[in-house]
Structure 1
Amino acid sequence: LLDEVKPDLCILAINSFVKGVMEEIRLLAKKKVHVITIAEEMAYPYVTEPELSKEIDALAKEHGITVIGTGVNPGFVLDTLILQLSLGVRRVDHVYARRVNDLSPFGHTVMEEQGVGLSKEAFLKGVEEGTIYGHVGFMQSIPMIADALGLTYDEVVQKREPIMTTVDRQTKDVFVKAGMVAGCNHTAVAMKDGKAVITLEHPQQVRPDLENIGTGDYIEIHGDPDVSMVIKPEVPGGIGTIAAAVNVIPHVLNAAPGLITMKDIPVTHAIMDDFRNHLT
């Protein structure tokens, strides 16, 4: 198909992890096809997959293509948007960001990854065994923010806690009985000398409205000056990810070959006219 169509660019939407998209990236690179992927780990893969990151960068440069990972989160709300807000800040002491979203539109795979419908005991066992992921992206967003702002940290402390429901909740894919797990409250804190420098929180659950919980995206940058931002309700995960992947197309085609990230390209935005008008 690639030989027949001869595309300039491919959007990969098949997996959350670097290892899950490596075979496709290798193939596309050899066919000289630029790659945009919504795999969460690809948003900033250097910490979790350093060797594969080097391989992707080398392949891209060898074949003259550009590879980038993006999406609504990671890729926008809990990293790129924070970096853009910091433009008017002279000193950053601490970054705090929280994304509260509704899992209801998602299917069975996401529900399983978040532990939706389990008992508290089964959820905690899943976290221990590594079957309850929570949010895939903190170990991409935190290094991206830190590297861009010039912050350093000693360690990242993560917690995954069950969100228990006191009422029955139902979506098209799952029924959660009162007293069971409605979602996962996943937090990650980058610590430096015993103090938090970056704090990211991402509680995800089905039908939070049934317990009067509002959704939204919240960012606070503490420093000189303090800056805060609220988006209510949250930027939609599905539509936001589609938009992010499409809106970076001109930047990818304009970029030098290699593995790049959202912090490496010019300010991104929606494009209402012909994308070719944005090519250099």
Structure 2
Amino acid sequence: MKIKIAQFGLGPIGIETLKLAATKSWVEIVGGVDIDPQKIGKSLSEITGIPGLENKMVYASFDELAKHEKPEVVLHTSVSRMKTALPQLEPIVKAGVSVVSSCEELLFPQLKQPELAKQLDDLCKKHGARVLGTGVNPGFVMDTLAVCLTGVCRSVEKIEVDRVVNASLRRGPLQKKIGSGLQPDEFRQLFREEKMGHVGLVESLALIAHALNWKIGKINETCEPMIAKKFIQTEYIEVKESLCCGIHHRAEATDGTKSIVLDLKMYLEAEDPRDAVRITGDPSINAVLHGGVHGDRATVAALVNSAPNILRAPAGLLLMTDIPVPRVG
């Protein structure tokens, strides 16, 4: 039985998500949503190059799409903040349609937006829909993976996760999002205004604590620019020496006896990219993924592979720790 899927957001990640979904035998793509006037009214084949979607169109809103198609799951790849995502999600949920979203704050919206999270959860339960926030980071390497590894521990005292990303290999928008080419003080100001940097690190920490039932105190978060030591040129951007070429983002919290530390370095020409999880416990675990998990490609996979899982879950606002272990679909 095929799952009818629509794509909300047809930027680079949304298009790649559709391309992967089109390769799955269990997926039927029924349409797309985007606010770009240049895309509205065109076929998904024209937008993505995927054959066989000549009669599947791009609409200006979910409500417009729903007049013509009846998706079961919407893959949502448009925004990072819960406040911005909620107005987009509400019409979908009210139609009884479930959502898998790359919205970073949606990984654990109870942290910053508890009232909005409850509102969305109540709406899902009322209309029989499910909403899940996922991706590679947040969504897997710095949260779900760490939680899974504790499953073979008798006890855990500390969890440390390090992620080093060579941003030179990532898409242009991400290279700009991490402040490449900015003056260091300019980046710091934009980060304080939530206009620059990585979103979701504190949500990852909160998800780990929630899953392990650790009553942590305040989350201490810092984000400093990585400074270019030489001129750097990528396919998308040029960065002069002494300007920002990425970020060093850190979050940590403790309950007095147990602690969680997440450390993310994402910068141009980063050396030794990797994902590492260190668990101090019985037994202790030191797991390293050399080269790291590719953010863009893995995020697309996380979204598509989660679609079957959420349809098997009860209605509500779901966490990655609420559904079965992620697997390829």
TM over 0.5: yes
Please say if residues 135 and 202 of structure 1, whose CA atoms lie closer than 8 Å, have aligned partners that are also in contact: no
Query: Partner residue of 1:27?
Result: 91
| Correspondent of 2:172 among 98, 101, 107 | 107
Please say if residues 214 and 255 of structure 2, whose CA atoms lie closer than 8 Å, have aligned partners that are also in contact: no
Query: Partner residue of 1:175?
Result: 238
Q: How far did 1:100 drift? A: 0.6
Q: Provide the C-alpha distance between the structure 2 equivalents of 1:130 and 1:69, rounded to a whole number of angstroms.
A: 19
Query: Partner residue of 2:274?
Result: 216
What runs of 5+ residues in structure 2 fail to find an aligned partner?
1-64
Aligned residue identity for 1:165: A
Query: Partner residue of 1:150?
Result: 213
| Correspondent of 1:48 among 97, 104, 112 | 112
| Correspondent of 2:268 among 194, 200, 206 | 206
Q: Is residue 237 from structure 1 mapped to residue 295 from structure 2 by the alignment?
A: yes
Query: Partner residue of 1:88?
Result: 152
Aligned residue identity for 1:176: V
Q: How far did 1:21 drift? A: 1.3
Q: Provide the C-alpha distance between the structure 1 equivalents of 2:194 and 2:307, rounded to a whole number of angstroms.
A: 34
Please say if residues 155 and 192 of structure 1, whose CA atoms lie closer than 8 Å, have aligned partners that are also in contact: no
Which stretch of structure 1 is more off in the superposition, 261-270 or 171-180?
171-180
Q: How far did 1:140 drift? A: 1.2
Query: Partner residue of 2:16?
Result: none
Please say if residues 202 and 221 of structure 2, whose CA atoms lie closer than 8 Å, have aligned partners that are also in contact: no
Q: How far did 1:130 drift? A: 4.2
Aligned residue identity for 1:200: L
Q: How far did 1:196 drift? A: 6.7
Query: Partner residue of 2:127?
Result: 63
Residues 226/14 of structure 1: CA separation in 2 closer, same or farther (3 Å cut): same
State TM-score, norm by structure 2: 0.77
Percent of aligned pairs sharing the same letter: 34
Q: Deviations over 1:147-203 (max 9, x none)?
A: 11122211111111111111211122210112211111000011333x770000111
What secondary structure sits across from 1:248 in the alignment? helix
Q: Provide the C-alpha distance between the structure 2 equivalents of 1:196 and 1:163, rounded to a whole number of angstroms.
A: 29
Q: Is residue 267 from structure 1 mapped to residue 325 from structure 2 by the alignment?
A: yes
Q: How far did 1:204 drift? A: 0.7
CA RMSD of aligned residues (A): 1.5
Q: Provide the C-alpha distance between the structure 2 equivalents of 1:224 and 1:258, rounded to a whole number of angstroms.
A: 35
Please say if residues 29 and 60 of structure 1, whose CA atoms lie closer than 8 Å, have aligned partners that are also in contact: yes
Please say if residues 29 and 65 of structure 1, whose CA atoms lie closer than 8 Å, have aligned partners that are also in contact: yes
What runs of 5+ residues in structure 1 fail to find an aligned partner?
272-280
Q: Provide the C-alpha distance between the structure 1 equivalents of 2:91 and 2:176, rounded to a whole number of angstroms.
A: 30
Residues 148/226 of structure 1: CA separation in 2 closer, same or farther (3 Å cut): same
Q: Provide the C-alpha distance between the structure 2 equivalents of 1:250 and 1:124, rounded to a whole number of angstroms.
A: 40
